[in-house]
Each structure stands twice: as C-alpha cells, then as structure tokens.
C-alpha cells in the first residue's frame, strides 16, 4: 500500500544536496521539546500540568532558532474533564500551547475512532498515525503519514507509530495497526528518498517495542516515544531515543547538531545528540495558560467538589498497586458494581483505576475523587457467563502481571488463588464463588465495565456473553461507586485475601 506523505519544502532540500559541490551546509542545531502522556491540565504537588509545560516551551523557543515541540500521544483521555467533553478541552489546550507535531496514543481511541477523528479535526497542528489503518485500507481520517520541517539547510522527516496493543487496551473499533518494524523501514526509506536528512519516529509504543525499533535495522535516527510513563534517554551510537515521563512533571529536551563533512572527496551528513531533562517542580507557570486551565477547572468544581462519604481505611490507587496486587480501592469498586446490578460476582481491570495516589484513613471522599479514579465514562454491565468463562477471564487478568498491564483484575464475590510464577494461561489454581468452588458448567451473573465486556484489555472471553442490561439503560460506573459510598456514609474497604498467592 502506498502511504500519503506530506513533503514541506523537500524539493529545495534535494536541490541543495545536489548542487552543493563547492560549499558545505552550515552546522545547525535543532531542539526537540518532547512531552507525552499528558492528560492532567493542572499542576499536582507543585509540578507538571500545562502552565508549567508552557513556560518551558516558551523558554526553549526563545533560546533556540530551530525548536520543534513534539507530543508522544495520550492526551484526550483519561483526563477528569474528558468524562464530560471527550477530550475537547485537551485539544484546545494543545492548540494554545502551539504543539508542532503529535502522534496518536492508545487513549485517543478510548471513546472510539469517531471521537478520535472529531478531536483531530479540532487540532490546529498535524497528527501522525502512519500505521493506523481504517477499514478501507487508508490511514485513519484526520491523521497523516509523515511531516517534514526545515532547520537551516537540513530537512527533518517525521512519521508516527501507534502500538498495535491499542486493539486490546482501547476501543479503536475497525482500525488496525500495521507492523511497527515494517512501517518504520518503509517510511525511513521513503523520507530519505524524498530528501530528509534526519528521520524521526514519533511513537506511542511500549518500552520493548521502543528498543526493538532502536536496536533493529529500521533506518530511523531518532525515536521520540511515550506510553510507558518512563523518564528515559538512550543513545546506542546510531539511534537516539527519549521519553518524557508523564503529566509534564519533567520535560525532555533533545538537541541534535547536524553537519556535513567531507571524507575521501565525498560529502556526508552527520549528526550528534545531546539530552537535557527539565523538572517542572516549582517552575513559574505561564500566566496565560494558567488562566485558561483555571477556566476549565472552575467548570468542574461546582459539580465535583461534593462530599460523599469517609473512608476509615487507607485506599491505594497507585498504578503499580492496582496493576499488581489486591487493593482496598479495587475491592471497593468491584463491590459497588456487583451490588449495583445485583450480580453473583464482579471483575474490573486495574487499568481503569487512574488516580495514582493514596487516600489516608479518615479522608472525606468527593465526587471528584471517584471521577478521578474512574475517568473513562464506562458503564456497568451485567453478563451471563459460565464458570469456565470466569476462569478464562481471570487467566487473562493475571497473564501480564509482570508487565504491569492494565488487565490485572479486582474481584468481588470470589476468592482466587493464583501463582504469578506459573506460565501465563496456567496461573489460576482455584476459584471460590462465595463459599463454594466454582462450577465450570454453571451460569453466573457477572458485573463488569463495558470496556472489558467488549473484549478490552484482552478479555475477549466476554465479547459474546449475553448482557442482561440494555446499553441505553446502563449506569455510569463512577456514579454507581459514588452512590454506593453515599449510601454507606462511612466505608472500610480492605485487601482481604480475595486474591491469594499460591507461591
């Protein structure tokens, strides 16, 4: 398949390379200001957020002649306000920030491809998704395959990569994702053929995919990535790679010096990288951006800053916890949805719990807290499933615990004994439903969110299960948890050996 390519000023670059026999191009430095996985508008703990990021971007633009502001994906979800406007406010903020080029992340598909295309249409900057292919075999509408920028006498060519795992961890219905290596090789060759000196892959890919791209023979020079929330810079002597953590807590800077040298009578393009990391802790916020963010925050306050109850026990929603161990907050949420639809059992995925914080015992919880924890706008479903399907779902939930995958389960109405050291697919050792061993032939009712019920996070076993709740009548999962806490007034959830290690 031939991929479309945007070719800004490539012709002049080619002409220069062909005619520069008497003179060399001047050494030129380009500065890449990179952020990724930014879905929180405001600072938290004195760092991060759009106003801090804007201060860094403005300072770098003031200091450098050639500055390119890149975004490595995951913006429109799961921010708090996105539960209401499906990420429109994030695109507005990115437009104000003056992003030069962005790649789609998996969370851009959380509300489905139609919303992703609506948000791309609102963006005033180009968005790459070279390997995201629609049902007609074309790049998803609104995205482009490549983009170029000039820095002095040199041309920089970009293309974009989206992790194929998006199929399992988001909702890209009808969109497929072409091989990362194949796309990289094809696009690097095409960009160079069309005159690019430096080839940059702007990617939203996991860390193993990153290193496969960097250490493989893909033809790229620079990989600016996201997805794993890692603060990372790497150079193997041939390819430079950088990721900028998340939420603009840090802003990563890559400076590339480009030059032309002569060796044995032949001119050759050379480049070298230099990395910087700017922490945004305590940085003076950009006033204009801070005001814009505050406007959006004010819209939330009246609705969300309402007290709903008190937790007498500590709640831990940190990413590593909800994706690796039984947690009190996971039990709270699964209990709330099981009771809310009167199901026998419940399963919810750790990747849907997003607050990434600890609530001390005695904390008065608000609607904002629960919306922060469950920002995706998921509804609660009630499925008819067999005991065999439940066991298969649990095997999926434990299958990637060593990767910190979002499919890790929280359960209600069940006690599960599992072995993390056993091979994936053979980790569930026993399941009790209430006080009885699970009956693999019996039909149970199961509460879950509509995302995993549709096969998300690898829960394909649920895709064809009968849903006992009309989708039009389904209740928001977050609202169900709010009402559960409000009804109790005081809650005391705990990790109580629902997930028992067999080690």
pLDDT digit string, tens, across residues 35-77 = 999 999 999 999 999 999 999 999 999 999 999 999 999 999 9
CA distances, 484 to each of 344, 353, 366 (Å): 17, 17, 13
Burial of 65-77, coded b for 16+ CB within 10 Å and e otherwise, reads ebbbbbbbbbbbb
Parallel, antiparallel, or unpaired: how do β-strands 154-162 and 198-204 relate?
Answer: parallel
Tokens representing 377 are 């706008």
Per-residue pLDDT tens over the stretch 263-296: 888 999 999 999 999 999 999 999 999 999 999 9
Residues 6+ apart with CB under 8 A from 419: 427, 429, 501, 502, 503
**% of the chain at pLDDT higher than 70:** 95
Minimal CA–CA distance to 260: which of 153, 157, 156? 153
Domain 10-20+28-293 has CATH 3.50.50.60: no
Residue 29: CB atoms within 10 A of its CB come to 18
d(CA 2, CA 23): 36
pLDDT of res. 302:
79
Q: Which CATH superfamily is domain 305-501 in?
A: 5'-Nucleotidase, C-terminal domain (3.90.780.10)
Q: Which helix (H) or strand (E) holds 429?
A: strand 428-433
The answer, yes or no, to whether residue 11 has pLDDT greater than 70, is no
pLDDT of res. 18:
33
Every domain range in the chain assigned CATH 3.90.780.10: 305-501
pLDDT of res. 24:
57
Minimal CA–CA distance to 295: which of 73, 54, 92? 92
Every domain range in the chain assigned CATH 3.60.21.10: 10-20+28-293
Per-residue pLDDT tens over the stretch 337-385: 999 999 999 999 999 999 999 999 999 999 999 999 999 989 999 999 9
Helix axes 207-215, 180-193, angle to 10 degrees: 40
Average pLDDT, the chain: 93
d(CA 429, CA 395): 10
The answer, yes or no, to whether residue 107 has pLDDT greater than 70, is yes
Per-residue pLDDT tens over the stretch 108-117: 999 999 999 9
pLDDT of res. 303:
79
């Amino acid at each position: 398949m031939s991929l479309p390519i945007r070719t800004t000023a490539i012709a002049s670059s080619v002409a220069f390379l062909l005619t520069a026999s008497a003179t060399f191009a001047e050494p030129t430095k380009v500065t890449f200001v990179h952020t990724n996985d930014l879905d929180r508008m405001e600072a938290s703990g004195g760092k991060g957020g759009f106003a801090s990021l804007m201060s860094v971007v403005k300072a770098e633009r003031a200091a450098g002649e050639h500055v390119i502001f890149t975004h490595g994906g995951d913006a429109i979800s799961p921010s708090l306000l996105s539960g209401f406007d499906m990420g429109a406010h994030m695109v507005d903020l990115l437009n104000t920030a003056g992003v030069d080029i962005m790649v789609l992340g998996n969370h851009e598909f959380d509300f489905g491809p139609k919303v992703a295309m609506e948000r791309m249409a609102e963006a005033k900057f180009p968005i790459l998704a070279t390997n995201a292919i629609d049902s007609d075999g074309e790049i998803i509408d609104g995205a482009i395959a490549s983009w170029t920028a000039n820095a002095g006498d040199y041309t920089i060519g970009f293309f974009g990569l989206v992790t194929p795992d998006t199929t399992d961890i988001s909702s890209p219905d009808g969109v497929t994702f072409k091989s990362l290596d194949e796309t990289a090789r094809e696009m690097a060759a095409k960009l160079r053929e069309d005159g690019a000196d430096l080839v940059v892959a702007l990617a939203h890919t996991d860390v193993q995919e990153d290193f496969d791209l960097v250490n493989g023979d893909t033809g790229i020079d620079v990989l600016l990535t996201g997805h794993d929330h890692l603060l990372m810079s790497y150079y193997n002597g041939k390819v430079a790679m950088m990721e900028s953590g998340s939420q603009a807590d840090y802003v990563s800077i890559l400076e590339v010096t480009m030059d032309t040298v002569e060796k044995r009578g032949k001119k050759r393009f050379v480049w070298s990288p230099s990395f910087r990391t700017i922490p945004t802790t305590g940085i003076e916020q950009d006033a204009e951006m801070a005001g814009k963010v505050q406007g959006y925050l004010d819209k939330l306050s009246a609705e969300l800053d309402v007290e709903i109850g008190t937790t007498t026990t500590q709640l831990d929603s940190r990413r590593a916890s909800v994706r690796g161990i039984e947690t009190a907050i996971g039990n709270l949420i699964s209990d709330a949805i099981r009771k809310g639809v009167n199901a026998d059992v419940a399963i919810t995925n750790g990747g849907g719990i997003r607050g990434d914080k600890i609530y001390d015992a005695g904390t008065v919880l608000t609607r904002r807290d629960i919306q922060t924890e469950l920002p995706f706008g998921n509804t609660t479903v009630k499925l008819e499933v067999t005991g065999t399907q439940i066991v298969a779902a649990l095997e999926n939930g434990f299958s990637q615990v060593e990767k910190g995958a979002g499919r890790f389960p929280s359960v209600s109405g069940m006690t599960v004994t599992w072995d993390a050291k056993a091979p994936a697919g053979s980790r569930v050792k026993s399941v009790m439903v209430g006080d009885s061993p699970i009956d693999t032939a019996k039909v149970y009712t199961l509460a879950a969110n509509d995302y995993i019920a549709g096969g998300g996070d690898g829960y394909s076993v649920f895709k064809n299960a009968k849903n006992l709740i009309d989708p039009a009548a389904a209740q928001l999962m977050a609202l169900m948890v709010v009402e559960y806490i409000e009804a109790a007034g005081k809650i005391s959830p705990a990790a109580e050996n629902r997930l028992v290690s067999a080690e």
